[in-house]
Structure 1
Amino acid sequence: MNDLGELKQFAVAHARAQRLGDHARLLSRMHTDDGDAAGSWVAEWSRAGAELEKAGRLLDAAGHYNMARFPFVDGPARQAALERCVSCFGRWAGEHGIEQLELELGGGRVRCWTSGLSPTARQPLLLVCGGIVSIKEQWAPALPMLRRLGVAGVAVEMPGVGENTLGYHEDSWRMLPDLLDALAGQADVEQAYALALSFSGHLALRAAVSDRRIRGVVTVGAPVAEFFSDSSWQARLPRLTVDTLAHLAGAKTAELSRVLAPMALTRAQLASLDIPVAYTASERDEIIPAGEVRLLRETVRNLDVVTHDDVHGSPRHVAETRLWGALSVLRTRGSGGPRYLLLAAALRLLRARARFASSTRRGSPS
C-alpha cells in the first residue's frame, strides 16, 4: 500500500491541474489505500467518477478515474480505474477533434492522443508529456488549444506510465526521436517542440542534445543531474516517488541509485544545447534539488527560469504555470501576434492579483 498521507499531499497539484474542485472533500473521506473498499483511495475517487460519468460529464469523470489509479497501477482496482479513465476521455475526445494513435516504438506499445496531424498540411509539432505519476489523459485536453497556436499536438506518456509499455532506463529518451520518426509523414517534425513536465523534461533535454529536430523545451520541475547522481538526496525522497520510480524501472528500491546514476546529464551535454529552454522551479521542492537550476544557469545558453515559493509542481501556482507554459511555447517558436499579447497580459494580471493578495495577507492583523 502507498502512504495515504503522501498520496493526499501529492494529489493536490494534479487535482488542481485538472480543475477537480471537489478534491478536498473527497480526500477527507479516505482513510486507507487498501484495495477498493469504501473509504479507500480507489473507491472514493472512482465513485465520484462514476457519478460524473452517469451525468455525462466525461472529462471530469476521466479526471477522477485518473486520480483513482494515481500514482501507478499496482493491482486490479487501479487497473480498472485506468481503463475507465481512458474510456471516458476517449468518448470526450471524439467530440473535440482529438484522435487516438497507437505506435510500436523501441519494442513497446505507445498510445497517444493527437490533434492537427495531417499528411497534406504538416504543421510544427508540439510533444506534451507529464511526469512519473501523470498520464496522457491529464494533459491531452490542451490539444485543441494547440491547433489555435498553429501546431500539431501529441500527448504521450513517459515509459512505464499509464498505457506506455516501454521500460524506464538510461536510454528512455530515445522514445522521443523514435516518436518524431513515426510522425514524420503527418507533421513537420523538423520543427518539434516539447512541453515536458517534471521527469519527462529530463528526457526532452537529453533527446534535444542528440536530435536537433527538437527546437525548444518547456518544463516544470525537471531533474537534470544531481537528482540522479546524489544518493544522499535520493535517500530523503518521499516514499511515493521512490516506489513509483522503482515500478517504472522494474527495479527494487535498494537498486534504484544504481539504475538512476547513468541518467544524469553532463555539463558538456547541457552546454551543447543551442535551443530555448524554459524552466519553472519551486523553491521548496522536496523532490528536485535546488542545484539543478544552478547547473542549468551555468550551462544552458538560452534559458528562461521562473521561480515560485512553492513545493514540487507548484500546486499554488497552477493557473500561472499554465499561462507561462503557453507563452513559453510561443516564445520558443518565435511567435508573437495578438494571441501572444493576450496571454502575456493575462499573465501580468494574474501575477498582479497574486502580489496584491499576498500583501493583503501580510498586512492583515493576526
Structure 2
Amino acid sequence: MKENLSEVLFKPRINVVETSTVSNSSAAQLSAVGQEEGRNWYRILRREYWAWLGLDPIETESLFADIAMCDKPRTSELLDTIGGYQPGNWNYEWMQRAVKHQISAKDAEQNGQRDKAYQEFLLASYSATIAAYPHFKGDDLVASAHALAHSNLMAATEQSKYECKTINVPIDGKQVACYLHLPDTDSVKPVVMVSGGLDTIQTELYPFFERFLAPAGIAMLTVDMPGAGHCLNWKLQQDSSRIHLAILDHLPKVPWVDDARVAMLGYRFAGNVAARLAFVAAERLRAVVTIGAPVDRLFSDIQRFNNLPQMYQDCLANRSGVNASNTEGLYYRCMPLSLKTQGILGGPRTKLPMFVVGRKNDAICPETDVSLLSMASPNCKVEVLKELDSLQNYNQIFTKVTHWLQKQL
C-alpha cells in the first residue's frame, strides 16, 4: 500500500508550470535581489515559523539541501525553481515529506496511538501546506497539495479533544469554506476570526487555536484571503474586507458561537483587513488585533515596494489577477490598498479596542504604519517585537494577545 501511495498518487510529472513563472512572465531573469545575502531562493524561507508549527528543523534543512544540490534545469538562478513534479522540485520534496507523516499517522491510528496519530496528521498537513507555498492560483501542483493539507488537518481534528466544523458561507452566489475550531460544544463560545498573509492558507493557522485560544475557551474561525485557498475565485481589491464582512453577516446563523462576542486577528496582509473592519464593522466586533500589517507605506512608497522580495510582489500580482513583470504597473494597482489613501486611517478614530503588533526594521509594516495604527483607536495597545523571528517571539506575543482577547470578549 505504501508503494502505491508514493509511486502512483505521487508519481513524478515533468509537464507542469514552475511556480515562479505563474504570475511573472520575466521569471527567467530573476536573481537573488530582495533576498538576504547568500539565500538564493525564490521563496521566502520561513524557517522559524515552520519550526514553530512543529516541523523538525534538521529535516527541513536536509530537504533544502536536496533542492539546492539538485542538478536538474531551473527557470532562473534561484535554487527552488526546478520545473516539473520530480526530485528537486519544491512541491515534490515537501509532498514526499507530507506522505511520510501521513503514513506514520495512519499506522499510529491503526495501533491505537491516538496522540501520535494526531501529531503526525498535523505534520502531514503542515508539510503539504508548505508544498503549495506560496499558494498561487494557476500553479498546477497547488490543488493536490491543498487537498492533502485539508484532509490531514481534518484527520488530525478527529483524533483531537477539540471540535472542528466546516462553515460554508454564501458570497456572490458561491460558497466559501471556513474552519470553525471549538474548544467544546457544551456552550456557545466567543470567537476570533483569524486570517494570515497573502502567502498563507487556513491549514497553518491551527496552532494558534490549539496552543492559545482553546485553553482560554475561545473558538477560532479561519478565513482564507482573497485569491488563495477556498477564496480562490475572489481577487484582492480596495474593498479587501468584503469576504470577512459576509462572514460577519453569516455568524448569527452559526449555533456554536456567540455572534455578540467576536474579534478579528489579522497577520500580515490580513492585518490590513482587520484594521479596515475596525472602522467598517465596529458595531459587530469587540476587538481587533493586527500583526505586522501593511496599511500604508508599502502602497505609498514606490521604492519600498520595488525592494520587496520577488515572491511577495508575485503574491500581490497573483491575488490581483495581473502579471508581476511590470513592477511599476503593479505598484499603481496596489496603491488603493493603503488604508490612509482610502481615508480610513489618519482621520476620525474608531472606538473599537485594538492590539497592534509590529517588528523593528520591518519592510512590510514599518514603524510609521505601527504609529498610524496606534492612533486609530483611543483604546490601543502596542507591542514592537525585536527584529528577528524566534520561537520565543511567537509564543510570547500570542500569549499576550490571548490574555488581551479574553478581557475584550
Q: TM-score, normalised by structure 2?
A: 0.74
Q: Deviations over 1:315-348 (max 9, x none)?
A: 32x3433342243233244269xxxxxxxxxxxx
Extract unaligned runs of 5+ from structure 2: 1-18, 21-29, 31-38, 69-79, 106-119
Q: Distance in 1 between matches of 2:301 and 2:260?
A: 35
Name 2:109's counterpart in structure 1: none
Name 1:353's counterpart in structure 2: none
Counterpart selection for 1:90 from 118, 142, 154: 154
Name 2:274's counterpart in structure 1: 204
Larger % of helix: which?
Answer: 1
- Using a 3 Å threshold, how does the CA distance of structure 1 residues 107 and 227 change in structure 2: closer, same or farther? farther
- Using a 3 Å threshold, how does the CA distance of structure 1 residues 333 and 247 change in structure 2: closer, same or farther? same
SS in 2 for 1:274: coil
Q: Deviations over 1:183-227 (max 9, x none)?
A: 113222222111211100110110120112122122221111122
Q: CA deviation at 1:83?
A: 1.5
Counterpart selection for 2:332 from 249, 258, 261: 258
Q: CA deviation at 1:7?
A: 4.3
Name 1:325's counterpart in structure 2: 398
After alignment, is 109-118 or 20-29 more displaced? 109-118
Q: Distance in 2 between matches of 1:8 and 1:172?
A: 24
Q: CA deviation at 1:309?
A: 2.9
Q: Distance in 1 between matches of 2:408 and 2:373?
A: 24
- Using a 3 Å threshold, how does the CA distance of structure 1 residues 292 and 148 change in structure 2: closer, same or farther? same
Q: Distance in 2 between matches of 1:300 and 1:6?
A: 40
> Which structure is richer in relative contact order (CA contacts within 8 A, separation 6 or more)?
2
Give 1:303-318 correspondences, 5 Å limit: 303-310=380-387, 314-316=388-390, 318=391
Name 1:274's counterpart in structure 2: 351
Name 1:104's counterpart in structure 2: 170
Q: CA deviation at 1:72?
A: 1.4
- For the 8 Å contact 1:35–1:77, the answer to whether it is kept is no
- For the 8 Å contact 2:53–2:126, the answer to whether it is kept is yes
- For the 8 Å contact 2:42–2:310, the answer to whether it is kept is no
2:238 maps to 1:170: yes
Name 1:68's counterpart in structure 2: 131
Q: Distance in 2 between matches of 1:99 and 1:298?
A: 37
Q: Deviations over 1:19-73 (max 9, x none)?
A: 2113222112113432321112111111111111111111101111111100113
Q: CA deviation at 1:301?
A: 2.2
RMSD of aligned C-alpha atoms? 2.6
Task: Give percent identity, aligned residues only.
Answer: 22
Count of aligned residue pairs for this structure pair: 332
Q: CA deviation at 1:13?
A: 4.1
Q: Distance in 2 between matches of 1:27 and 1:331?
A: 38
Name 1:225's counterpart in structure 2: 296
Extract unaligned runs of 5+ from structure 1: 337-366
